[in-house]
Amino acid sequence: MLSEAGFPGLGIHGWIGILAPSKTPNDICAKLNAAVNAAVLKPAINARLKTLGYDPRAMLLTDAGPFLANSIETWRKMILATGMQIN
């Protein structure tokens, strides 16, 4: 749809995640990641999220940084392409 509006190659996909402060210990982040992934993979939770319109997916903790960087870059391109400015 965005390519039809004049933004070829730009796609936006909403997502919901759990973030922690940057100095959160790695073991705590790993535990949170494992707990969220386990919940998302439970059939009842997965099915309920789908009925709410979500596409639940587990994500490795090591993939979170690149995923966030890509999301930020996508929104940066969208803002630049629309000419929006902060007043």
Question: Looking at residue 59, what is its pLDDT?
Answer: 93
Nearest alpha carbon to residue 42 among 56, 61, 62:
56
pLDDT digits (tens, 9 = 90+) for 25-46: 999 999 999 999 999 999 999 9
Length of the chain, in residues:
87
77 occurs within a structural domain:
no
11 occurs within a structural domain:
no
42 occurs within a structural domain:
yes
Q: Measured between alpha carbons, how far is 32 from 80 in angstroms, rounded to an integer? A: 34
- Print the domain residue range for 50: 24-62
* Parts of the chain with a pLDDT under 50: none
State CA 11 to chain mean position distance. 13
Nearest alpha carbon to residue 18 among 39, 48, 42:
39
57 occurs within a structural domain:
yes
Work out how many domains the chain is built from and give that number. Answer: 1
Question: Looking at residue 40, what is its pLDDT?
Answer: 92
Question: Looking at residue 81, what is its pLDDT?
Answer: 79
pLDDT more than 70, % of the chain: 90
